[in-house]
Amino acid sequence: MSTDDKEQLPALDLRLTEENVDELYENAPCGYCSCLPDGTLVKLNQTLLGWLGYAREELVARRCLQELLTVGGRLHYETHCAPLLLIQDQVREISYQLLRHDGTTVPVLMNAILLRDADGQPLVIRVTLFDITDRRKYEQELLRAKAEAEDQRELLAVKNEELMRINAELDNFVYTASHDLKQPASNMVGLFEELKRTATFHDPEASGMVSMFEDALRQILGTIEGMTDVVQLQRQPDQLAVEPIGLQSFTEDIIRSLQPLVVPPAVFTLDFAAVPTLRLPRTSLHSTLYNLLSNALKYTVSGRLPQVWVSTSLEAGSAVLTVRDNGRGIDLQRHGQEVFQLFRRFHPEVDGSGMGLYLVRRLVQQAGGRVEVDSVVDEGTTFRLYLPV
Amino acid sequence: MTSLERNNVKVLGAGEQAMVFVHGFGCDQHMWRLVAPAFESYYRTVLLDLVGAGQSALAAYDPARYATLQAHADDILAVLAELNLRDVVLVGHSVSAMIVMLAAIEEPERVARLVFVAPSPRYLNDGGYTGGFEPADIDELLEAMDSNYLGWSGSITPVIMGHPERPELAQELNNSFCRTDPTIARHFARVTFLSDNRADLPRLRRPSLIVQCAYDALAPRAVGDYLHRQLPGSTLVVIDTSGHCPHLSAPKATIGAIEHFLAVEPA
């Protein structure tokens, strides 16, 4: 405190300077004790005696500090605190439980210093103890919470592992199922072709049933194909070789393969002037464009000439591949990002497996890009694929 | 990593024969600073930190490997092999008395004599044997260690590691010696206080000195007497001091007892 401060003190407060040192020692808001280097108690203040419930003469020269600790605390004191005091002449903020005369305990935080004589030999240990009953409760709560969190984490790890295993098993199952179904389904196509060629149907409705059967068969094959693609993707992500692909001829090829599906024929407008080539795995781009274009052709509005625009542009360092149609559209207010979920379908009246858009998003994300969708019901849908250049 | 790095080995002193000091539970090689220098004129003195303690490679502490004291004994033998030392004097405090004994049983040719400072082959009471402690006491110790996480443990170490630009953080820590990782300390406490090496005692074939404190709560007189009876060729010296660390509380008497045992002429 500076002299100026002193001068400003009101006269009344000078009573404070008459604080009695002995009184302060005895009734300080903390426990004091002094011990011989071996821990024998030589002096304790009234506060500490009050906590402990002992009379002074029961402790002084008769007991040592370690004996006032729980056995665990004493082990800690002897193996850690005592050597530390002798090595560095002080210890601070050590947490112990003091044993009261009645067998209960009081949690304390201990600071201690070791004083040495003129020859450097240990002379006396001065100890200050703070009652931390409330703080200890919080600490115990924290320790309990920590232990609980650790248990939970272990449990989660186990569950996670289990889920990973189940997931892998499911992948395997789907892969095996699609693989096992593919062969007999293909056989059915061949057999049915042969049957149509050789058999004669007399029922007038037979030809209608034959074409329905063919549609159903095509659906089965499409679903199996989709399943295989999804599983393949899950199994070996980003193992595929990237190559530059010229979009014009690549897209034209896909359109040609789709045309038999389309009655009446649709109008395609292609414009790849801004970005004529993309660097992607060939199979990924094929699957992506095939799914988007076949969707555009599937979800048309009857009585309206289907139109599809496929184009590229450059936007803030990304190549944007846009596929726009004038079809039925999707109610995005209602369905939002569900459009990309596996097996999610919005037009049950049209054939589909619910895997196409899921695949599209997975493939684009694998290529380091993202997909955005805009749609107005009854007007059309626009997919924008943002791909790194 | 060499075993010298792993165990933070420090070699000092001048002499043909080596003297290897191994600290006990709760501390590190700093414990020997009042005793080891007294032998530097006659011996090559070797100080080390057990893996998991002091400045040893904490990452090397694999709880499965260090589930027994034998792993620490093997570490010490690896240090001796790397320094190409034979006929050494092994000095072990507390639990490390048993660790150095295990090392001497395994490779007796490397060890000439042993000094056990405040040793105990078994801390728990067991039938007719008085070790001094019950299992509940050990649980209480673990609890005391848990509540001292912030006080003496290295749980603060990650904070320091995360602030290499602020080295003063390390210096601000209280109790900067004998700090250790709390999880390791807990594990080592368990291994230490649940160990039982009574059956190994008769297998030691080297002369040994038992430095017994007169008043030691961890290794009481009865335990020292037991060891003296069970260890062939042992000498028992009782030092008039209390506590578990005579090398710190009564360094002169401890040095004297060791010098006498080694027949070193006091300087």
**DSSP string for A64-122:** BGGGGB-HHHHHHIIIIIHHHHHHHSEEEEEEEEEEPTTS-EEEEEEEEEEEE-TTS-E
Length of chain A counted residue by residue: 389
φ, ψ for residue B130 (rounded to 5)?
A: -105, 105
B249–A96 CB contact, under 8 Å? no
The answer on A371 and A267 residing in a single domain is: yes
| Assigned domain for B77 exists | yes
Q: Is residue B244 annotated as a catalytic residue, yes or no?
A: yes
Mean pLDDT over the full length of chain A: 85
The answer on A281 and A346 residing in a single domain is: yes
Where does the pLDDT of residue A388 fall: very low under 50, low under 70, confident under 90, or very high at 90 and above?
confident
pLDDT at A342: 67
Q: Where are the beta strands (DSSP E) in B23-176?
A: 44-48, 88-93, 111-117
Choosing from A236, A267, A296, the residue where a domain stops is A236
Residue A6 predicted with pLDDT over 60 = no
pLDDT at B174: 44
Q: Is residue B216 annotated as a catalytic residue, yes or no?
A: yes
SS3 A258: helix
The answer on A371 and A264 residing in a single domain is: yes
The answer on A180 and A127 residing in a single domain is: no
Min mean pLDDT across A200-214, A352-366, B236-250 is at A352-366
Residue A16 predicted with pLDDT over 70 = no
pLDDT at A127: 97
φ, ψ for residue A189 (rounded to 5)?
A: -55, -50
Mean pLDDT over A204-220 rounds to 84
Mean pLDDT over A7-36 rounds to 80
CA separation for the pair B118, B238 (Å, rounded): 10
Distance of CA A96 to the CA centre of its chain: 39
* Cα torsion angle, A6, A7, A10, A13, sign: positive
pLDDT at B156: 37
CA separation for the pair B50, B99 (Å, rounded): 10
Mean pLDDT over A346-353 rounds to 67
The answer on A27 and A167 residing in a single domain is: no
The answer on A246 and A388 residing in a single domain is: yes
pLDDT at A1: 45
Higher pLDDT, A76 or B172: A76
Residue A261 predicted with pLDDT over 80 = no
The answer on A208 and A156 residing in a single domain is: yes
The answer on A190 and A99 residing in a single domain is: no
pLDDT at B266: 47
B133–A71 CB contact, under 8 Å? yes
The answer on A275 and A220 residing in a single domain is: no
The answer on A195 and A72 residing in a single domain is: no
Q: Is residue B147 annotated as a catalytic residue, yes or no?
A: no
Higher pLDDT, A31 or A84: A31
Choosing from A213, A236, A259, the residue where a domain stops is A236
Residue numbers of chain B with a pLDDT score lower than 70: 149-177, 264-267
The answer on A211 and A112 residing in a single domain is: no
The CATH number for A141's domain is 1.10.287
Q: Is B179:B154 a contact under the CB 8 Å cutoff?
A: yes
| Assigned domain for B139 exists | no
Residues of chain B whose beta carbon is less than 8 angstroms from a beta carbon of chain A are 24-27, 30-31, 33, 94, 133, 137-148, 150-152, 174-178, 193, 215-218, 241-245, 248-249
The answer on A272 and A366 residing in a single domain is: yes
- Total domain count, chain B: 1
pLDDT at A109: 93
- Total domain count, chain A: 3
- Output the six-digit token pair for A111: 């600071």
Supply the Cα-derived Rg of chain A in whole angstroms: 42
Higher pLDDT, A241 or A385: A385
Domain that holds residue B220: 3-122+196-262
Which helix H or strand E contains A388, and what residues bound it?
strand A380-388
| Assigned domain for B127 exists | no
Is A141's Cβ below 8 Å from some Cβ in B? no
pLDDT at A259: 72
| Assigned domain for B190 exists | no
| Assigned domain for B148 exists | no
Q: Is B29:B54 a contact under the CB 8 Å cutoff?
A: yes
pLDDT at B152: 37
Q: Pick the residue from chain B with its C-alpha nearest to A122.
A: B249
Q: Is B28:B177 a contact under the CB 8 Å cutoff?
A: yes
CA separation for the pair B54, B31 (Å, rounded): 11
Any residues with CB less than 8 A from the CB of A251 and at least 6 apart, and which? A270, A272, A289, A293, A310
pLDDT tens, position by position, A158-197 = 999 999 888 888 877 887 888 788 888 888 888 888 888 8
| Assigned domain for B93 exists | yes
pLDDT at A238: 53
CA separation for the pair B109, B89 (Å, rounded): 12
- Residue B152, min C-alpha distance to chain A (Å): 7
pLDDT at A7: 58
| Assigned domain for B159 exists | no
pLDDT at A4: 54
CA separation for the pair B159, B173 (Å, rounded): 11
Instruction: Verify cis geometry, omega within 30 degrees of 0, for the bond prior to A388.
Output: no
CA separation for the pair B29, B177 (Å, rounded): 9
H helix runs in B127-220, sequence order: 135-147, 149-152, 157-161, 168-172, 182-194
Residue A39 predicted with pLDDT over 60 = yes
Nearest CA among A25, A22, A1, A23 for reference residue A13:
A1
CA separation for the pair A292, A335 (Å, rounded): 18
| Assigned domain for B17 exists | yes
| Residue in B94, B96, B195, B234 annotated catalytic | B94
pLDDT at B173: 44
From A76, A86, A92, residue closest to B175, measured CB to CB: A92
Domain that holds residue A99: 3-131
DSSP one-letter code for B220: -
Distance of CA B36 to the CA centre of its chain: 13
State the amino acid at position B265 in one-letter form.
E
Is this prediction's ipTM beyond 0.90?
Answer: no
Is A80's Cβ below 8 Å from some Cβ in B? yes
A76–B148 CB contact, under 8 Å? yes
Q: Pick the residue from chain B with its C-alpha nearest to A139.
A: B147
The CATH number for B76's domain is 3.40.50.1820
The CATH number for A310's domain is 3.30.565.10
Min mean pLDDT across A214-228, A341-355, B58-72, B132-146 is at A341-355
pLDDT at B114: 97
Percent of chain A with pLDDT over 70: 88
Mean pLDDT over A16-24 rounds to 79
